[in-house]
Structure 1
Amino acid sequence: MGDEPLAIAIDSAERTGPRRVYCRLCGRPLTGADSRRTGLGPTCDAKLHPAPPDIRTRRHEVEQDTLPGLEPPAD
């Protein structure tokens, strides 16, 4: 056991703190936990994965014919 090499290089053991992670798209350093996990900053993530359109804004009233059998009774 005395002559076995170390698994970690000595110069890498000197660094303290988390290692720097950079955005895969623009190369800027990432600071947020979610950004570090995905590898994309919030701006670049929004470019690649745009939010879906809000369906509530597309709804509108449409004039329709009355369904057969649902007409009001004639007097």
Structure 2
Amino acid sequence: MARMYRVLGFWTLAIGLMALAGDMVPMALIFFFQTALFVLLGYMNLSERTYILMFWGYMLISFTGFTYWSFFRMEL
């Protein structure tokens, strides 16, 4: 399970670099932060239950934030 967090770190790094190349700096910074967080968590050797609970928490926060942003903050 810890390896999957390193894989997530790799993909968020790739997305962050593409966002930076597309001149979307705030998005790139968010993904670089996520990359650092995922790689750090990948080397912590926590239990599988902890990794799963942390991933569910991450998904809850990210989906809530995405829904809030797309519903209340985006212009039509």
Please indicate the TM-score interval, normalised by the length of the shorter structure: under 0.3
Larger radius of gyration: 1
Which has the larger strand fraction?
1
Q: TM-score, normalised by structure 2?
A: 0.23
Which has the larger helix fraction?
2
Kindly indicate whether structure 1 or structure 2 has the higher relative contact order, using CA contacts under 8 Å at least 6 residues apart.
2
